[in-house]
Structure 1
Amino acid sequence: MSQRFYSAKNLDVLEFEAANEWGYPRHKHNFFELTYILKGSGQHLLNDSTIEYKKGDLFFLTPKDEHEFIVNEPTTFGIIKFTEQLFLEKANLSSSTHWRKNLDTVIFYSNNIPKSIIAYEGDRTQLFWLYELIKNEIENTLVYSRDVLLDLFGALLVVVSRNLKSSLTKSEKSYKSEKEKIDSILTYVRQNLLDKELIKIKSIAENFYMSPNYVSVFIKKHAGISIQQYVLKTKIEMAKRLLKQTNLNISQIADKTGFSDSSHFNKIFKKYTGNNPSVFR
């Protein structure tokens, strides 16, 4: 059984050189990872595939993926690690719907691309520049660093998404089990939480090639909760993070989490947590 590695930070960068051996056992993560090949060559063992890697390659890994590297020539790896929480933070702060419409590409389909994800040669330079900019900002923290990092991260993921999309079509969606499918549906709901159209039963059904009449039954059967309850529960979890991690007032948090007004937000929050938002804070 492979090991699972964990990260306490929602965004981090690691760079190291492997002269002869990668130095890690075959493993999975609780986070997403972009692995840049800054120099060297060898093989990348990703899930059931073996891929030759070389300088200039970029691999995208999700928590579902299992991998290890076999080093042939001394290799320098650059790694950007980030969590699902960072997606939510970026989406909450963005006024653009572009993010929410493209997150599903990053979340769901990456496992289907065992090779380097760079499809457009012109994007290679941009992706490596963004790595260096993010690395430098993390290593040299200044005022507004968090804002700078979120904007750089947003740009990075949009370019990554563009390259992933070039290699995928909807017909390529496949799930090894019903658990994997329900996990993907619930992730889709979380990432599009504030777009009422995208989380309607009809939209979910179209995205996952299901009958609209069966979507609710499928979710209730495998998640033990209705889609409406799951949406409210996820909004409350988002609100709890905003209450603890930001200085936004109650009305602002109600608005950011998609409630009609602060009164409705207070009522639902107390129902799910037993406390008013102000008391929880």
Structure 2
Amino acid sequence: MNRYTLHETFVVHQYAIDEWEAEPHNHNYFEIIFVEKGSGYHTINGVRFAYSENNIFLLAPEDTHHFEIEKHSKFTYFKFTELLFSSKVNLPDRKYWLQRIEQLLHHPNIIPGDVICHEEDRNIIWDIHNVVLDEFKNEKNYYQEIISNAISTILSIIMRNISEKYTSNQREILVGNTKIDQILGHIRQNVYDNDLTKINFLANKFNMSQSSISTYFKRKTGESIHQYVTKYKMKLVEYRLQHTEFTIAEIAYQLGYTDESHLTKTFKKHFAMSPKQYRKEMTIEAG
């Protein structure tokens, strides 16, 4: 096994094995797994898929997985956290990347398995994979920035393919996902923009009156629209406190709160502690 590290925000592991000895496990970072050779089965969150040469898998924090190897296999793992992108001082860029990842993390219908559906995209990602390994090995000028941008590009291509796989799957299986599914999907995708999750906007978008959409939503979910949006935002706040170094003020800005105190007040109602206290406790537990 070869292991490379970039200040622990980005780690590369390479394995060439005939038998997978590790128990099913999860972790607190993202993994992009490249299958360089071999075949067998890969189980992600209890769902079993055949794998083969050139497959690419994406694992999110808390995902559980293991391999069953039938033919001698070689894997390369890119393991990273959001801190890999912290050198990008342009906050909107980092915020956009994080939004895309959160949509992946919290989307209830993402299809697991090999993440690529377009072979030309697969070829591009493998080429970038080779660039990343070369930059690690040689550590030329600006290699850290090159690796950060390379991983960002890989993730964008993966997200494009996952979105297309999910959309095509919905067309095949669901003649019409229910209106509540459509409303919930819209909220999750646009939760960062308060105007797009207001009742008047939702009523207009889904051709309902404000009173009827409110009643319908409450009947289907057991919560008001405002309660659902707030709880969903709290889930995102919790994730960012655990996995990023954004300040509380930055998180408040990113999620559409007027200021840090507004976010803190809402967070306390849900977690019985302030965001700063929550982050401190998570840091102590992780230590």
The answer on whether the counterparts of 1:239 and 1:257 sit within 8 Å (CA) in structure 2 is no
Aligned ranges 1:121-136 → 2 under 5 Å:
121-136=119-134
Give the length in aligned residue pairs: 243
Alignment partner of 1:81: what SS? strand
Tell me the equivalent position of 2:260.
Answer: 265
Q: TM-score with structure 2 length normalisation?
A: 0.58
* Per-residue Cα deviation, 1:90-116 (whole angstroms, up to 9, x for no partner): 8954189697468535653675233x2
Aligned ranges 1:1-281 → 2 under 5 Å:
11-18=10-17, 20-46=18-44, 47-51=46-50, 53-63=51-61, 65-83=63-81, 85=82, 92-94=91-93, 100=99, 104-105=103-104, 107-108=106-107, 112-114=111-113, 116-137=114-135, 147-169=145-167, 170=170, 189=188, 193-197=191-195, 199-200=197-198, 202=202, 212-213=214-215, 215=217, 226-227=227-228, 229-230=230-231, 233=234, 245=245, 255-256=253-254, 258-260=256-258, 264-266=259-261, 269=264
Alignment partner of 1:125: what SS? helix
Question: Within 2, Cα distance between the matches of 1:60 and 1:17?
Answer: 19
Query: What amino acid sits opposite 2:16 in the alignment?
Result: E
* Per-residue Cα deviation, 1:29-87 (whole angstroms, up to 9, x for no partner): 44443211112223334424341x2221112334565432222332110112345x569
* Per-residue Cα deviation, 1:150-179 (whole angstroms, up to 9, x for no partner): 4322211111122223322246899xxxxx
* Per-residue Cα deviation, 1:116-160 (whole angstroms, up to 9, x for no partner): 222111111211122233445556667766544443222111111
The answer on whether the counterparts of 1:106 and 1:161 sit within 8 Å (CA) in structure 2 is no
Alignment partner of 1:158: what SS? helix
Tell me the equivalent position of 1:4.
Answer: none
Question: Within 2, Cα distance between the matches of 1:110 and 1:139?
Answer: 38
Segments of structure 2 that go 5 or more residues without pairing to the other structure are 1-6, 175-180, 207-212, 280-287
Q: TM-score with structure 1 length normalisation?
A: 0.59
Closer/same/farther in 2, CA of residues 142 and 72 from structure 1, 3 Å limit: same
Closer/same/farther in 2, CA of residues 95 and 195 from structure 1, 3 Å limit: farther
Alignment partner of 1:131: what SS? helix
The answer on whether the counterparts of 1:64 and 1:111 sit within 8 Å (CA) in structure 2 is no
The answer on whether the counterparts of 2:257 and 2:263 sit within 8 Å (CA) in structure 1 is no
Segments of structure 1 that go 5 or more residues without pairing to the other structure are 1-7, 175-180
Question: Within 2, Cα distance between the matches of 1:13 and 1:54?
Answer: 20
Question: Within 2, Cα distance between the matches of 1:108 and 1:232?
Answer: 14
